[in-house]
Amino acid sequence: MTRSDHGFDRSLIESAAVEVVGRRRELELVTAALAASRHVLLEGPPGTGKSTLLRAIAERAGLELVFVEGNAELTPARLAGHFDPARVLTDGYAEDVFVDGPLLRALRDGGLLYVEEINRVPEETLNLLITVMSEGELTVPRLGRVVASPGFRMVAAMNPYDAVGTARISGAVYDRVCRVSMGYQSLEDELAIVVHEAKTAGATDAAGDDDFVRRVVSVVRGTREHPDVRIGSSVRGAIDLVLIADELAGLRGTGVSELGTALDAACMALSGRIRVHESCHRTPEEIVTELWDLYATTVDLGEGGGDGEDPGKG
Protein backbone atom coordinates (compact mmCIF):
# COMPACT_ATOMS: atom_id res chain seq x y z
CA MET A 1 0.00 0.00 0.00
CA THR A 2 1.33 3.41 -0.91
CA ARG A 3 0.89 6.61 1.02
CA SER A 4 -1.55 7.96 -1.55
CA ASP A 5 -3.89 4.97 -1.18
CA HIS A 6 -5.26 6.45 2.01
CA GLY A 7 -4.11 10.04 1.65
CA PHE A 8 -1.21 9.85 4.12
CA ASP A 9 0.50 12.93 2.78
CA ARG A 10 1.39 16.50 3.70
CA SER A 11 -2.10 17.80 2.94
CA LEU A 12 -3.50 15.52 5.65
CA ILE A 13 -1.10 17.04 8.18
CA GLU A 14 -1.96 20.59 7.16
CA SER A 15 -5.69 19.92 7.41
CA ALA A 16 -5.57 18.01 10.70
CA ALA A 17 -3.25 20.56 12.35
CA VAL A 18 -6.07 23.11 12.21
CA GLU A 19 -8.21 20.87 14.41
CA VAL A 20 -5.54 19.32 16.63
CA VAL A 21 -3.91 22.34 18.29
CA GLY A 22 -0.23 22.11 19.13
CA ARG A 23 0.24 18.54 17.94
CA ARG A 24 1.94 18.89 14.56
CA ARG A 25 4.93 16.73 15.53
CA GLU A 26 2.68 13.98 16.87
CA LEU A 27 0.46 14.24 13.79
CA GLU A 28 3.51 13.72 11.59
CA LEU A 29 4.77 10.78 13.65
CA VAL A 30 1.45 8.92 13.78
CA THR A 31 0.72 9.59 10.11
CA ALA A 32 4.16 8.32 9.10
CA ALA A 33 3.70 5.15 11.19
CA LEU A 34 0.27 4.45 9.71
CA ALA A 35 1.55 5.12 6.20
CA ALA A 36 4.25 2.53 6.90
CA SER A 37 1.52 0.06 8.02
CA ARG A 38 2.80 0.05 11.61
CA HIS A 39 0.76 -0.27 14.78
CA VAL A 40 0.94 2.63 17.24
CA LEU A 41 0.77 3.18 21.00
CA LEU A 42 -0.11 6.66 22.25
CA GLU A 43 1.02 7.23 25.84
CA GLY A 44 0.02 10.24 27.86
CA PRO A 45 -2.27 11.60 30.59
CA PRO A 46 -5.96 12.30 29.92
CA GLY A 47 -6.87 15.41 28.00
CA THR A 48 -3.76 15.55 25.83
CA GLY A 49 -5.59 15.00 22.55
CA LYS A 50 -4.88 11.33 21.83
CA SER A 51 -8.38 10.51 20.61
CA THR A 52 -8.80 13.85 18.84
CA LEU A 53 -5.55 13.35 16.96
CA LEU A 54 -6.43 9.86 15.77
CA ARG A 55 -9.98 10.78 14.76
CA ALA A 56 -8.65 13.70 12.72
CA ILE A 57 -6.19 11.45 10.87
CA ALA A 58 -8.75 8.69 10.25
CA GLU A 59 -11.36 11.12 8.94
CA ARG A 60 -8.99 12.77 6.52
CA ALA A 61 -7.47 9.48 5.38
CA GLY A 62 -10.91 8.04 4.70
CA LEU A 63 -10.43 5.17 7.15
CA GLU A 64 -13.08 3.68 9.41
CA LEU A 65 -12.21 4.14 13.07
CA VAL A 66 -13.40 1.19 15.15
CA PHE A 67 -13.45 2.23 18.80
CA VAL A 68 -12.85 -0.18 21.70
CA GLU A 69 -13.01 0.89 25.34
CA GLY A 70 -10.40 -0.99 27.30
CA ASN A 71 -11.63 -2.35 30.62
CA ALA A 72 -11.64 -5.51 32.72
CA GLU A 73 -14.88 -6.69 31.06
CA LEU A 74 -13.36 -6.75 27.56
CA THR A 75 -13.25 -10.50 27.02
CA PRO A 76 -11.83 -12.16 23.89
CA ALA A 77 -15.40 -12.87 22.73
CA ARG A 78 -16.41 -9.22 23.12
CA LEU A 79 -13.36 -8.09 21.19
CA ALA A 80 -13.35 -10.66 18.38
CA GLY A 81 -17.03 -11.56 18.19
CA HIS A 82 -19.25 -14.55 18.89
CA PHE A 83 -21.77 -16.93 17.38
CA ASP A 84 -25.40 -15.96 17.95
CA PRO A 85 -26.59 -18.64 20.43
CA ALA A 86 -30.19 -18.59 19.22
CA ARG A 87 -29.25 -19.04 15.58
CA VAL A 88 -26.66 -21.70 16.34
CA LEU A 89 -29.51 -23.92 17.58
CA THR A 90 -31.23 -23.72 14.20
CA ASP A 91 -28.44 -23.05 11.69
CA GLY A 92 -25.36 -24.45 13.40
CA TYR A 93 -21.96 -22.78 13.37
CA ALA A 94 -22.33 -21.15 9.95
CA GLU A 95 -20.30 -18.11 8.98
CA ASP A 96 -23.35 -15.85 8.75
CA VAL A 97 -24.30 -16.81 12.31
CA PHE A 98 -21.14 -15.18 13.63
CA VAL A 99 -21.52 -11.65 15.04
CA ASP A 100 -18.34 -9.69 14.37
CA GLY A 101 -16.82 -7.83 17.28
CA PRO A 102 -14.79 -4.64 16.77
CA LEU A 103 -11.57 -6.54 16.07
CA LEU A 104 -13.00 -8.65 13.24
CA ARG A 105 -14.89 -5.68 11.84
CA ALA A 106 -11.65 -3.70 11.60
CA LEU A 107 -9.83 -6.73 10.16
CA ARG A 108 -12.40 -7.36 7.46
CA ASP A 109 -12.89 -3.70 6.52
CA GLY A 110 -9.23 -2.67 6.71
CA GLY A 111 -10.02 -0.04 9.33
CA LEU A 112 -8.21 1.47 12.29
CA LEU A 113 -8.84 -0.41 15.52
CA TYR A 114 -8.55 2.12 18.35
CA VAL A 115 -8.12 0.48 21.76
CA GLU A 116 -8.45 3.06 24.51
CA GLU A 117 -6.87 2.38 27.93
CA ILE A 118 -5.09 -0.75 26.70
CA ASN A 119 -3.47 -1.19 30.11
CA ARG A 120 -6.91 -2.03 31.51
CA VAL A 121 -7.47 -4.91 29.08
CA PRO A 122 -7.20 -8.47 30.53
CA GLU A 123 -4.14 -10.45 29.52
CA GLU A 124 -6.08 -13.15 27.65
CA THR A 125 -7.70 -10.45 25.50
CA LEU A 126 -4.36 -8.76 24.88
CA ASN A 127 -3.09 -12.07 23.50
CA LEU A 128 -5.57 -11.76 20.62
CA LEU A 129 -4.17 -8.34 19.76
CA ILE A 130 -0.59 -9.61 19.94
CA THR A 131 -1.44 -12.39 17.47
CA VAL A 132 -3.13 -9.98 15.08
CA MET A 133 -0.26 -7.50 15.24
CA SER A 134 2.27 -10.25 14.58
CA GLU A 135 0.50 -12.30 11.94
CA GLY A 136 -2.01 -9.93 10.40
CA GLU A 137 -4.71 -12.53 10.89
CA LEU A 138 -6.81 -14.26 13.53
CA THR A 139 -8.11 -17.82 13.76
CA VAL A 140 -11.48 -18.06 15.46
CA PRO A 141 -12.72 -21.51 16.63
CA ARG A 142 -15.46 -22.88 14.34
CA LEU A 143 -15.22 -19.78 12.14
CA GLY A 144 -11.75 -20.19 10.75
CA ARG A 145 -9.01 -17.86 9.63
CA VAL A 146 -9.71 -14.17 9.13
CA VAL A 147 -6.96 -12.28 7.29
CA ALA A 148 -6.56 -8.54 7.77
CA SER A 149 -7.65 -6.49 4.78
CA PRO A 150 -5.23 -3.86 3.44
CA GLY A 151 -5.33 -0.78 5.62
CA PHE A 152 -5.86 -2.54 8.94
CA ARG A 153 -3.81 -1.10 11.77
CA MET A 154 -4.20 -0.98 15.53
CA VAL A 155 -3.71 2.17 17.55
CA ALA A 156 -3.78 1.84 21.32
CA ALA A 157 -3.81 4.56 23.96
CA MET A 158 -3.01 4.53 27.64
CA ASN A 159 -2.35 6.76 30.63
CA PRO A 160 0.83 5.31 32.13
CA TYR A 161 0.38 7.29 35.36
CA ASP A 162 -2.95 5.77 36.41
CA ALA A 163 -2.31 2.80 38.66
CA VAL A 164 -5.92 2.00 39.63
CA GLY A 165 -7.38 -0.97 37.75
CA THR A 166 -4.45 -1.15 35.36
CA ALA A 167 -1.68 -3.65 34.60
CA ARG A 168 1.79 -3.27 33.21
CA ILE A 169 1.96 -3.65 29.45
CA SER A 170 4.12 -6.61 28.50
CA GLY A 171 7.21 -6.41 26.37
CA ALA A 172 5.39 -8.46 23.73
CA VAL A 173 3.02 -5.54 23.14
CA TYR A 174 5.75 -2.88 23.16
CA ASP A 175 7.77 -4.95 20.70
CA ARG A 176 4.94 -4.77 18.16
CA VAL A 177 4.04 -1.08 18.31
CA CYS A 178 5.65 2.27 17.62
CA ARG A 179 5.29 4.43 20.73
CA VAL A 180 4.45 8.13 20.77
CA SER A 181 4.62 9.96 24.10
CA MET A 182 2.17 12.85 24.46
CA GLY A 183 2.62 15.30 27.30
CA TYR A 184 0.63 18.44 28.01
CA GLN A 185 0.63 21.22 25.44
CA SER A 186 2.17 24.66 25.89
CA LEU A 187 0.41 27.51 27.66
CA GLU A 188 -0.48 29.26 24.42
CA ASP A 189 -1.82 26.07 22.86
CA GLU A 190 -3.99 25.37 25.88
CA LEU A 191 -5.28 28.94 25.79
CA ALA A 192 -6.24 28.46 22.14
CA ILE A 193 -8.01 25.18 22.93
CA VAL A 194 -10.03 26.69 25.78
CA VAL A 195 -11.07 29.74 23.76
CA HIS A 196 -12.07 27.58 20.79
CA GLU A 197 -14.12 25.17 22.91
CA ALA A 198 -15.78 27.99 24.84
CA LYS A 199 -16.78 29.81 21.67
CA THR A 200 -18.06 26.59 20.13
CA ALA A 201 -20.23 26.04 23.22
CA GLY A 202 -21.59 29.58 23.03
CA ALA A 203 -19.72 30.96 26.04
CA THR A 204 -18.62 34.01 24.11
CA ASP A 205 -18.50 36.39 27.10
CA ALA A 206 -16.09 34.20 29.05
CA ALA A 207 -14.08 33.30 25.95
CA GLY A 208 -13.66 36.99 25.16
CA ASP A 209 -12.17 37.84 28.56
CA ASP A 210 -8.50 37.23 27.83
CA ASP A 211 -7.29 37.87 31.38
CA PHE A 212 -9.88 35.51 32.84
CA VAL A 213 -9.08 32.69 30.41
CA ARG A 214 -5.34 33.09 30.97
CA ARG A 215 -5.86 32.96 34.72
CA VAL A 216 -8.00 29.82 34.38
CA VAL A 217 -5.39 28.05 32.26
CA SER A 218 -2.61 29.15 34.61
CA VAL A 219 -4.48 27.68 37.60
CA VAL A 220 -5.07 24.40 35.78
CA ARG A 221 -1.43 24.16 34.78
CA GLY A 222 -0.51 25.04 38.37
CA THR A 223 -2.30 21.93 39.63
CA ARG A 224 0.22 19.81 37.73
CA GLU A 225 3.14 21.30 39.68
CA HIS A 226 1.61 21.79 43.12
CA PRO A 227 3.60 19.90 45.79
CA ASP A 228 0.44 18.53 47.43
CA VAL A 229 -1.04 17.23 44.18
CA ARG A 230 -0.17 13.80 42.79
CA ILE A 231 -2.09 14.17 39.51
CA GLY A 232 -3.18 17.54 38.17
CA SER A 233 -6.00 18.54 35.87
CA SER A 234 -5.96 18.34 32.10
CA VAL A 235 -7.09 21.16 29.84
CA ARG A 236 -10.61 19.71 30.11
CA GLY A 237 -10.74 21.21 33.59
CA ALA A 238 -10.03 24.65 32.16
CA ILE A 239 -12.71 24.22 29.51
CA ASP A 240 -15.31 23.18 32.08
CA LEU A 241 -14.29 26.00 34.43
CA VAL A 242 -14.83 28.63 31.72
CA LEU A 243 -18.17 27.15 30.62
CA ILE A 244 -19.49 26.87 34.18
CA ALA A 245 -18.33 30.37 35.08
CA ASP A 246 -20.08 31.73 32.00
CA GLU A 247 -23.38 30.10 32.95
CA LEU A 248 -23.01 30.91 36.64
CA ALA A 249 -22.34 34.56 35.88
CA GLY A 250 -25.54 34.69 33.86
CA LEU A 251 -27.57 33.16 36.68
CA ARG A 252 -26.09 35.48 39.30
CA GLY A 253 -25.90 38.60 37.18
CA THR A 254 -22.17 38.96 37.77
CA GLY A 255 -19.05 38.95 35.62
CA VAL A 256 -17.21 35.68 35.06
CA SER A 257 -14.16 36.98 36.90
CA GLU A 258 -16.11 38.07 40.01
CA LEU A 259 -14.44 36.26 42.92
CA GLY A 260 -17.40 34.26 44.21
CA THR A 261 -18.50 33.18 40.74
CA ALA A 262 -15.04 32.34 39.43
CA LEU A 263 -13.92 30.50 42.56
CA ASP A 264 -17.12 28.46 42.80
CA ALA A 265 -16.69 27.45 39.17
CA ALA A 266 -13.02 26.62 39.77
CA CYS A 267 -13.74 24.39 42.77
CA MET A 268 -16.53 22.60 40.94
CA ALA A 269 -14.53 22.03 37.75
CA LEU A 270 -11.19 21.11 39.31
CA SER A 271 -11.72 19.55 42.75
CA GLY A 272 -12.69 16.18 41.33
CA ARG A 273 -9.95 16.17 38.71
CA ILE A 274 -6.92 16.56 40.94
CA ARG A 275 -5.53 13.77 43.09
CA VAL A 276 -4.04 14.91 46.39
CA HIS A 277 -1.12 13.02 47.91
CA GLU A 278 -2.24 10.53 50.56
CA SER A 279 0.00 12.21 53.13
CA CYS A 280 -1.62 15.60 52.53
CA HIS A 281 -4.47 16.63 54.85
CA ARG A 282 -5.71 19.48 52.69
CA THR A 283 -8.85 19.27 50.60
CA PRO A 284 -8.84 19.73 46.82
CA GLU A 285 -10.97 22.84 47.29
CA GLU A 286 -8.33 24.40 49.54
CA ILE A 287 -5.64 23.77 46.94
CA VAL A 288 -7.77 25.18 44.13
CA THR A 289 -8.49 28.29 46.21
CA GLU A 290 -4.78 28.73 46.93
CA LEU A 291 -3.96 28.51 43.23
CA TRP A 292 -6.74 30.91 42.27
CA ASP A 293 -5.32 33.46 44.71
CA LEU A 294 -1.77 32.79 43.48
CA TYR A 295 -2.72 33.63 39.91
CA ALA A 296 -4.80 36.67 40.87
CA THR A 297 -2.89 38.66 38.27
CA THR A 298 -2.15 37.54 34.74
CA VAL A 299 0.88 35.28 34.88
CA ASP A 300 2.79 34.06 31.84
CA LEU A 301 4.06 30.59 32.67
CA GLY A 302 6.02 30.38 29.46
CA GLU A 303 6.48 27.32 27.29
CA GLY A 304 7.68 25.12 30.13
CA GLY A 305 5.29 26.18 32.91
CA GLY A 306 3.23 23.28 34.17
CA ASP A 307 4.94 20.86 31.77
CA GLY A 308 7.09 18.73 34.01
CA GLU A 309 8.84 15.58 32.84
CA ASP A 310 6.20 13.47 34.59
CA PRO A 311 2.76 14.34 33.19
CA GLY A 312 1.19 12.18 35.86
CA LYS A 313 2.61 14.46 38.50
CA GLY A 314 2.22 17.51 36.36
Average pLDDT over residues 90-117: 93
Residues 71 and 215 in one domain: no
Q: What total of structural domains would you count in the chain?
A: 2
Residues 157 and 239 in one domain: no
The last residue of one of the domains, among 154, 181, 208, is 181
| pLDDT tens-digit readout, 17-73 | 988 999 999 999 999 999 999 999 999 988 899 999 999 999 999 989 999 999 999
| pLDDT tens-digit readout, 201-232 | 999 999 999 999 999 999 999 999 999 999 99
Half-sphere exposure of 31 (CA within 13 A, CB side): 29
Confidence grade of residue 9 (pLDDT, cut at 50, 70, 90):
confident
CATH number of the domain to which 92 belongs = 3.40.50.300
- Statement: residue 302 has pLDDT above 80: no
Element (H, E) at 193: helix 187-200
Give 251's contacts (C-beta < 8 A, 6+ positions apart): none
Taking the C-alpha atoms of residue 65 and residue 40, their distance in angstroms, rounded to an integer, is 14
Query: Considering the domain boundaries, does residue 301 fall inside one?
Result: no
Taking the C-alpha atoms of residue 256 and residue 265, their distance in angstroms, rounded to an integer, is 9
Confidence grade of residue 277 (pLDDT, cut at 50, 70, 90):
very high
What percentage of the chain reaches a pLDDT higher than 90? 79
Query: Considering the domain boundaries, does residue 305 fall inside one?
Result: no
Residues 62 and 118 in one domain: yes
Confidence grade of residue 2 (pLDDT, cut at 50, 70, 90):
very low
According to the model, what pLDDT value does residue 297 have? Answer: 65
Confidence grade of residue 132 (pLDDT, cut at 50, 70, 90):
very high
Residues 214 and 158 in one domain: no
User: Structural domain of residue 26, as residue ranges?
Assistant: 3-181
Residues 82 and 209 in one domain: no
Confidence grade of residue 306 (pLDDT, cut at 50, 70, 90):
very low
Query: Considering the domain boundaries, does residue 107 fall inside one?
Result: yes
Query: Considering the domain boundaries, does residue 246 fall inside one?
Result: yes
Residues 252 and 120 in one domain: no
Residues 134 and 199 in one domain: no
The last residue of one of the domains, among 181, 200, 233, is 181
| pLDDT tens-digit readout, 160-175 | 877 666 777 889 999 9
**Between 47 and 266, whose confidence is greater?**
266
Query: Considering the domain boundaries, does residue 126 fall inside one?
Result: yes
Query: Considering the domain boundaries, does residue 311 fall inside one?
Result: no
Residues 199 and 139 in one domain: no
How buried is residue 89: exposed, middle or buried, by Cβ count under 10 Å (0-12/13-18/19+)? Answer: exposed
Residues 227 and 136 in one domain: no
Residues 156 and 18 in one domain: yes
Query: Considering the domain boundaries, does residue 265 fall inside one?
Result: yes
Residues 100 and 176 in one domain: yes
| pLDDT tens-digit readout, 226-254 | 999 999 999 999 999 999 999 999 999 99
The predicted model scores a pTM of: 0.83
According to the model, what pLDDT value does residue 223 have? Answer: 97
Residues 22 and 162 in one domain: yes
Half-sphere exposure of 61 (CA within 13 A, CB side): 30
CATH number of the domain to which 206 belongs = 1.10.8.80
Report the chain's mean pLDDT, rounded to a whole number. Answer: 89
- Statement: residue 195 has pLDDT above 60: yes
According to the model, what pLDDT value does residue 6 have? Answer: 59
Query: 101-137: b or e for each residue (b if 16 or more CB lie within 10 Å)?
Result: bbbbebbebbbbbbbbbbbbbbeebbebbeebbeeee
Query: Considering the domain boundaries, does residue 233 fall inside one?
Result: yes
